[in-house]
Structure 1
C-alpha cells in the first residue's frame, strides 16, 4: 500500500481551503476592530495524537484572535511592521512551490536575485555586490560580521580558528542592538570584544571616542576589524553620523557595517532620505523588510559590497552540491554560497510582490506619514501637564511618561510600568517601555500603515485616564 499525505478528496479540500480563505480575509478586513492584544491563556490547543485523522481547521481559526497585535493600528510596542493582505497571496504561491531556496536552478532563486539587485541600487552599492534575504537583521548581522571577520584574517580563521592571531575587536555605540553581542559570541570572538562606545546628546556614537578606542586597542596589540554604525537605535531612533563614522572606518582600514534594521526604509522617502547620508560607504548592511517596509514576517536582508568576500566567507561545496553545469544542479552561485543555510524558504517572493504591487514610492509615503504622526504625538504630549516628553528624535519613536505630584522616581517608574501593562491587557493600545536618561519611559514606535492621528489621541486620553487612577 502506498501512503500519501495528499487529500483523499480534492473537492472537499478545495471547500476547506475556500472557507479558510474567507475566514482569514474577514480577519484582515477587521484589523482595526477589537482589542490590540488578547492574553493567550484563553486559547485551547488540541492534543497531538499518533493516529491523526482530524482536520485542524477549527484549531487554526481559534489562533486568529491571539496574535501579538502588530496588525492593529494601535500596536506601538517594539518595531514591528503591520504587514499587508497581499502578502497572503505571495505566501500561498510560495507554499505551493515549496521551494528550497538554498540553491539549484529554479524561479525562486531568480526572484531573490532580482530583489537583491534592486537593494544594491537603492543603497548605492556596486553591481558587483551581493546579498541574501534572511529571517531578519539578526541573521543579516551574523552574516555581515562573519564576512568582516574572515576578510580581516585573510580567510584563515575558518580553518585555524580564533586561537590564531591577535584578539579581534569591533566598535559600536552603547545603543547598539543586542544581536551584535550575540553575533560576536557565536563567531567565537566573545561579547567583550565588542566595544560599546559613548553616545552624544543625540544618541549617536561619538567620533572622538571611536578614534581613541581604535588607537588604544592597536597600541595594546589587539586587532580592530569592524566599525558598526546604527541607523535607528531601538530606544530612541537615533541615527549615527553614517558618513563621519564610515570615513573613520575607511581611514583606519576597517570593515564598515551598518545596522539599518528599520530606518533603512528612509531611503524610500524623498523627504527623509538625507538622514541616511553615507550609507553607501558600507561594506555590509543589515535591515528588515518586515518592519517599516510592511512585508509580512519574516523577511530581512543582508547586503555585501564585494560579492567575492561573501563567497569566500561561506562557499564550501561538498560533492553532493557540485556544479552540474546544466540542469537543476546549475546556475551558480547559490544562496548557500553566500550564507550558512542550505534549507531556506521562499521569503523573497513576498518582498518582490510588495514592491511590485505597492511600489517604493507609496512605501516611502507611509514612512513620511508615520514620522509626521510621531511629531504630532510629541507635540500633543508637550501640551499635557500630566505628561513628560523624554525623547523625540524627529523620526518615528517617541518616549514619554506620566508624572504625578508627590511621587519619587522609583514610584513614577512603577506607575508607568503598570500603566503600560494596563493598556496592553485592556486591549486599548500596545506601547512598550524603555529607559531614557534613567527614567522608565512609555515608548511609542509607529511603523504601521494603518495608524491614524485618532489612534494617537485615543492613546493619550487612555494614558492620562489610567495614570490618574493609578496615582
Structure 2
C-alpha cells in the first residue's frame, strides 16, 4: 500500500531528505568518472547473462524502494553491459563516443526540465545560439534556418517535408504523394543512400517505390549519367521529380557523392537539393577536406548528427535549411492554445515547434553549448582530423599485409577490409571473416561492424571515437591475423 495521505495537496515525489539525495548524487558522479577513466581496462562489449536478462524482465513496480537500492541495481545489471561505443576500440556502425563534460550538461538539462517548443526562456535562446554556431561551422548562410532533432532519421523527414511543401505549395500529409493537381513526386539518391531517406519518402506519402535508387560507380559515388537518365524517364512518364539527395559520407563505405555536380544538376532541373551528412558533414571543419564537400554548403537542406562525429552523448542532431521560412511554411500551427500574446513568455517570436514535428522537445542544445564552450570547435576539428589519420594508418597496415585485403577505402573515417589466404573460395572467405568478427566482438577485444560489398563479407571500421589511439589499430590488426590464422589452420 502507498504511504501518502490522499488528503494532501500533492504526492511526495521529491526526496524526503535532500542531504541524502546529494550524497547519492556525489557517489554517482564519482562512480561515473571512475568508470570512464578505467574504460580501456574493460571489454568493449559482453553479452548480457541470462540471470541479468531475467532481472531486467520483471513486472511493473507497484511500490518504491530507496533510490540507493535502485542505483545498486543499475550498477550490477546495466552498467557492465553497454553497447560499447564509449570504449576506445569501438568502431562499429556510426556511433559516437560521448564527451564527458556534456554528460554534466544532460544532467543539468534534466534538472531545469525545459521543453523547447515555444515561449521565452533561456533554454530556447541556447538552442538558437547553438544553431547559429552550427551554421557557422558548416559555412551555411547566416539567414538560413534550422532545428535540433533526435537524429538524422527525423532530420530526413523534416527536410523532405520542407522540400515537398516548397515544390507543391502545400504541407498536407494525407495524400499518397499526390498534391492537389494530382502530380506524383519522385525523389533520387544512390543505392548507398541511408535507409532513413526511403523511410521518410514512405512516411510522407510519396511512396517508397517513387524513391529512385541510382547505381554507383567503382568508388560508390552516385552515377550522374544514370541519374540524368532516371530524371528524364520520369518526366517523360508524367511524373514530377522533386528532390535529389546527395551523400556526404555513406554509412557503408564513407563515400562522398560529387556534391558540386549534384548541386548544378538540381538547379538545372529545379529540384530541391538535400544532403545527408549524418557524420561526414563535420569534415567541413577541416580546410583539407572542404574541396571534397564542395557544394554541400549551397544545398537547400542538410542533416548531420552531433552524436556521431562531434562526440556528443546521444541524442542530438541538426537539420539546416537555406530558406529562412522553409520550415515554418511546412510545420507552423495556428492552434489557439499555442497562439501568441502581447507580453509574457508567449510573446516570444521564435517557436521551434514550428520548425518540425515535435511540440515537446527536450533541452538537447545544452550539452552542445556546454561542450563547445568547454573545448572550442578547433579541438573537435583536431580530433576529427585525428580519426581520419588513424583510418589512413589502418588502411596502410592492411595494404602492407598479404593476409588482409582492402575492399573499400575513403577520404573520411571508414575502411572496409577482410582476412584472406591463398586458394580460398568466396564462401570460405565470407565464413572465416564472419567468424573473425564474431570472435573480436564476443571476446570484447574490439568492435568493428560489418557490411557486404559485391557479395563479400567485410570487416568495417568507422572511427567516430575521440578515445582511440594508433596502438588500438595495431592491436586490431594483430588480433584479426591471429584469429584468422587459427581458423584457417583448424580448417585444414
Normalised to the residue count of structure 2, the TM-score between the two structures is: 0.93
Distance across 2 between alignment mates of 1:267 and 1:405? 42
| Superimposed CA distance per residue, residues 85-108 of structure 1 (whole angstroms, 9 cap, x where no aligned partner) | 101211121011101111211111
SS at match of 2:142: coil
Q: In the alignment, which residue of structure 1 is the partner of 2:168? A: 153
1:268: how far off? 1.3
Q: In the alignment, which residue of structure 2 is the partner of 1:373? A: 390
The alignment status of 1:31 with 2:39, answered yes or no, reads: yes
Q: In the alignment, which residue of structure 2 is the partner of 1:144? A: 159
Preserved CA contact (<8 Å) 2:186 2:239: yes
Distance across 2 between alignment mates of 1:244 and 1:93? 44
Q: In the alignment, which residue of structure 2 is the partner of 1:58? A: 72
14, 18, 25: which one pairs with 2:22?
14
| Superimposed CA distance per residue, residues 68-95 of structure 1 (whole angstroms, 9 cap, x where no aligned partner) | 1111111011111111110121112101
Q: Counterparts in 2 of 1:155-304, with a 5 A limit?
A: 155=170, 157-158=172-173, 162-164=177-179, 165-304=182-321
1:270: how far off? 2.5
User: Which consecutive residues of structure 2, in runs of 5 or more, have no partner in the other structure?
Assistant: 1-7
Preserved CA contact (<8 Å) 1:431 1:443: yes
1:326: how far off? 1.6
Q: In the alignment, which residue of structure 1 is the partner of 2:341? A: 324
The alignment status of 1:391 with 2:405, answered yes or no, reads: no
Q: In the alignment, which residue of structure 2 is the partner of 1:96? A: 111
Q: In the alignment, which residue of structure 2 is the partner of 1:68? A: 83
Distance 1:103 1:161, change over 3 A: farther
1:333: how far off? 2.8
SS at match of 1:290: helix
1:160: how far off? 6.2
SS at match of 2:311: coil
Q: Which runs of 4+ in 1 moved over 6 A?
A: none
Q: In the alignment, which residue of structure 1 is the partner of 2:438? A: 421
Distance 1:222 1:151, change over 3 A: same
Distance across 2 between alignment mates of 1:238 and 1:363? 22
Distance across 1 between alignment mates of 2:136 and 2:465? 26
1:10: how far off? 0.8
Of stretches 120-129 and 12-21 in structure 1, the one that deviates more from structure 2 is: 120-129
1:168: how far off? 0.5
Preserved CA contact (<8 Å) 1:131 1:302: yes
SS at match of 1:371: helix
Normalised to the residue count of structure 1, the TM-score between the two structures is: 0.97
1:163: how far off? 4.1
88, 91, 96: which one pairs with 1:81?
96
SS at match of 1:271: helix
Q: In the alignment, which residue of structure 2 is the partner of 1:350? A: 367
Preserved CA contact (<8 Å) 2:171 2:330: no
The alignment status of 1:431 with 2:431, answered yes or no, reads: no
SS at match of 1:40: coil
Distance across 2 between alignment mates of 1:450 and 1:109? 32
SS at match of 2:337: helix
Count of equivalent residues: 471
SS at match of 1:365: helix
Distance across 2 between alignment mates of 1:79 and 1:161? 32
Q: In the alignment, which residue of structure 1 is the partner of 2:140? A: 125
SS at match of 2:96: coil
Preserved CA contact (<8 Å) 1:27 1:64: no
User: Which consecutive residues of structure 1, in runs of 5 or more, have no partner in the other structure?
Assistant: none
1:47: how far off? 5.1
Preserved CA contact (<8 Å) 1:271 1:368: no
Preserved CA contact (<8 Å) 1:269 1:361: no
Distance across 1 between alignment mates of 2:284 and 2:178? 40
Q: In the alignment, which residue of structure 1 is the partner of 2:5? A: none
Preserved CA contact (<8 Å) 1:169 1:194: yes
Distance across 2 between alignment mates of 1:87 and 1:382? 38
1:123: how far off? 2.6
* RMSD, aligned α-carbons: 1.4
